[in-house]
Structure 1
Amino acid sequence: MTGWNASDIPDQSGRSAVVTGANSGIGYVTARELARRGARVVLACRSEERGTRALVRLRSEVPSAQAEFRRLDLGDLGSVREFAESYDRDDANGGGLDLLVNNAGVMALPYRQTADGFETQFGVNHLGHFALTGLLLPRLLRTPGARVVTVSSAVHVLANIDMGDLNSERDYRRWIAYARSKTANLLFVHELARRLAAAGSGVVAAAAHPGYAQTNLQATAPRMEGRKVVERVMWLGNRVAAQPAAKGALPTLYAATAPAVRPDSFTGPRVLGWQGAPARSWRAKWTLNDTASERLWEASEGLTGVRYTALKG
């Protein structure tokens, strides 16, 4: 893994990928580099305007790209179902899906609720991706070598999930809620990997994080609240301390394409989990707790109405 970079991505010709939140930052770079190596890529984004603009940019940077935009709002389970149904409907041959990259996310927002009444960070970062993965799972299961890569964060170490208050209804602290949603991502990967193995499936479920990378996430919340000073500080932090999005995307690309990736692995930047080439990343022990991952899974099925029946005998 030493010194691994985008030029080490294996040929992706003939493979198909869905990348959520691909209109900017880590998601855009992930989609672009997969397309550059020959994959057929779907940019799954909430905003049609930003998604279409990203698609135009990608095609200008990779003229040979096989790419398309499809609208997906992870904060609306109706939109998630519509995306999955349209993906199935438009592929009349019932082909498989080689790669699902659960990348989209929100960070440290003021308290909001999704269209379905979930706290936004938990709803978008975890529940939306839980539902999407479950709905696309039949395609993944019938594709040899398929993978699901979920993007978490080193910030997950700030908080374990609270099964008694998944939606932060009793006590909302934005950074704690964010950390819990990122812990939920890792518990999801842990449980998905366990269930895939139990079903005898070769699909690999893995996780990654970008360290500190220059993206739009940091400034979104202060911009929403009109906190100009904080927004400026976040912008300066990105300029001074963060690595470019192109490098922040490397752990995701490694988890998505490198031959040696194992189920339930967690890949991040080599240097203190902050910057550098992809490497095995440390994770909080609570993200490997079988009981917690199973309880979160069952709660997520109940909240989303999406049940992974394809993994049951």
Structure 2
Amino acid sequence: MPGKVSPDDLLAHVFERTGAAESDETVLQGPADGEDAAAIDWPDGDGTLVVSSDPISLAASQVGRLGVPVATNDVAVSGADPRWLTAVLLLPTGTDERTLEAITRDLDDAAREIGASIVGGHSEYVDRLERPLLSLTAMGTTDRFVPTAGAEAGDAIVLTKAAGIEGTAILGADFGEELGVDPDVCERAEAFLEEISVVPDARVVREYATAMHDPTEGGVTAGLLEVARASNVRLEVDRDAVAIREETERLCEAADVDPLRIFGSGALIATVPANELDDCLASLDETGLEAAEIGTVCELDGEVPELLLGTDSITEPVEDDLYPLWEAADDGQ
């Protein structure tokens, strides 16, 4: 099964193998469960450099368009403004030049929209590669690093926009026709690509948040659990309070997938002190961004961090519901 390496394997083989980071006083945040960005103290003491890397390979359509927000979202939810990008693009041998042109055009457009500069990278043709593989590293600066691990008991949980925005765009673009969904619905779903950046959301919420997180693989459910695990808390979430758009409902029903368990870029998960919740929601509203309180951060009842989603207790990592669709598509080729 494709997907992220499990937290247990990361703990055993990755998190403790970080070169000289342990003795490097400039490393404020290194690899850790639930943390998607590193924080590095500028040598001159002028703020914090936030760095994050992310690949994208399974979405066949507009991979460049998706790649920039997927990478820069993790920098934004750490409290920084994304400023620089490097891009590594691997293409299957024999790829038409038009594919390279389309991907780099999308990269350029998406980076310009958020004011980020593409400053380097690498491009290569690779044998035995079935589809383009794009990996980006995003960097930005902040005066206040906001970790995934900052949620505190009593905080309110806020979700911007809606669940499954990225996954809905992928379903509409890559599977809509075979699912038999109305072309108008698929067209509206593909337009969700314009909303998967949470840079505007984070610029508002970072003034209030104790923790912020970008739900990607596994959707809102996985993102919430990652906050719980990183912060060592229990999150109690009202599933009915999580916004789900009509296009998401239609496509997820046709594909028999859970809208809370498909790629979730476009939404921002944040924990906010209860006494600042109203101001946070009002600020988002003034910016034209939809948002709602969906739950509460609580102390642990036991020893294991937990997401209580409605009546469902979730403590184990969540797999994304879209992966079986890609596997079935590959098997049918």
TM over 0.5, yes or no?
no
Question: What is the TM-score of this pair, normalised by structure 1?
Answer: 0.29
Kindly indicate which of the two structures has a greater share of residues assigned to strand: 2
Larger radius of gyration: 2
With structure 2 as the length reference, what TM-score do the two structures score?
0.28
